[in-house]
Amino acid sequence: MHKHVDMDVINGFIEDRLNAMLSRPAMWGTMFAVEMQVLLLLEMTVLHRLSIEEFRKSYCDFINEKAPDPRPVPLAFRVDDDINRLASILTEFRSILSAG
In a domain, 2, yes or no: no
**Model confidence band, residue 4 (pLDDT cutoffs 50, 70, 90):** confident
Residue-wise pLDDT for 48-64, tens only, equals 899 999 999 999 999 99
Residue 70 lies in a domain: yes
Range of the domain at 75: 7-99
Structurally, the chain folds into a number of domains equal to 1
List Cα–Cα distances, 30 to 24, 37, 61, 88, in angstroms. 12, 11, 23, 15
Amino acid present at 44: M
85 in any annotated domain: yes
Does a structural domain hold residue 91? yes
* Within a domain: 1: no
DSSP H helical segments within 1-100, as ranges? 7-23, 31-46, 52-66, 83-99
For residue 81, being part of any structural domain is answered with: yes
Q: What is the pTM of this model?
A: 0.92
Q: Are 33 and 57 in contact (CB under 8 A)?
A: no
Q: What is the pLDDT of residue 1?
A: 67
pLDDT per residue as tens digits for the range 19-55 = 999 999 999 999 999 999 999 999 999 998 999 999 9
Please indicate, yes or no, if residue 21 is contained in any of the structural domains.
yes
Residue 51 lies in a domain: yes
Report the distance separating Cα 81 and Cα 11, nearest Å: 30
